[in-house]
Amino acid sequence: MRRRPPPERHRSRFRLNTPPQLLALDEAALDHVEEHGGPGLLWFWESPSNWVVVGYGQSIAREVHVEACNRDNIPIYRRCSGGGTVVQGPGCLNYGLALPIGLDPDLESITGANRWIMERQRRALAGLLPGNVTIEGHTDLAVDGRKFSGNAQRRKRSALLFHGTFLHRFELPLISRWLAFPSAQPGYRSSRDHLDFVTNTKLDPQAIRTALEAEWSDLETGLPDDAKTRIPALLELRYARPDWHASR
């Protein structure tokens, strides 16, 4: 079977930039690969405004300084994947991978997918950063022991979503302002507070994109029209509904 020609690079730069839209597009990409298969998708986004997003099963009251967010007019949302709570905004580059599970045997389990994908992410970033880039706590990337990338996974029957963040020039004190100390921490954190635990890479975000596109060169870059057309239904079902975000 002939492979269709690759789409135009950076197709993901379409005008969806509200938090509900950005959360919905990640799930829409997963649903597209679940239904249509293909080689898989890679896309990027960076929010122009600050907001907080908790993992699917997390308690907002436990993970977030809700009063501080209310005072600062910082909205709080919930994503479709697991993982910990993060602050989004300028200086925090997000990527997403929607992969058919049949792409590699390691993708057949959560642990195998974490290991296989994170090693590729580590390899892509190691050439850009001074210091020792390591995989920590299963789904973190750290340089010299300080976290600069957190990642999460959601699985369906035949496809998975693996997405995460890269801190490049984020205003790090905002994390302590709006997030509580997490309810679960990886061992390497050693109870360090947010500012002692995380770091910015200070990389140009385009350099990060280029490195990941080279590492995942077999994937389609950007979101096809079919994935974009799924976003309104996901907004109505979940992401535009305050009660869904506040459900725990």
Tokens of 204: 């140009």
pLDDT in tens, 49-65: 999 999 999 999 999 99
Bridge partners, 51 (sequence order): 88
Q: Give all domains of the chain, ordered by start, each with its CATH number.
A: 19-245 (3.30.930.10)
Whole-number CA gyration radius for the chain: 17
The pTM for the full model equals 0.91
3-state helix, strand, coil in the chain (%, to 5): 40, 25, 40
Please state, in angstroms and as integers, the Cα–Cα distance from residue 49 to each residue in 74, 111, 171, following that order: 9, 33, 12
pLDDT in tens, 190-204: 999 999 999 999 999
pLDDT in tens, 23-57: 999 999 999 999 999 999 999 999 999 999 999 99
Strand 140-143 to 146-155 pairing: antiparallel
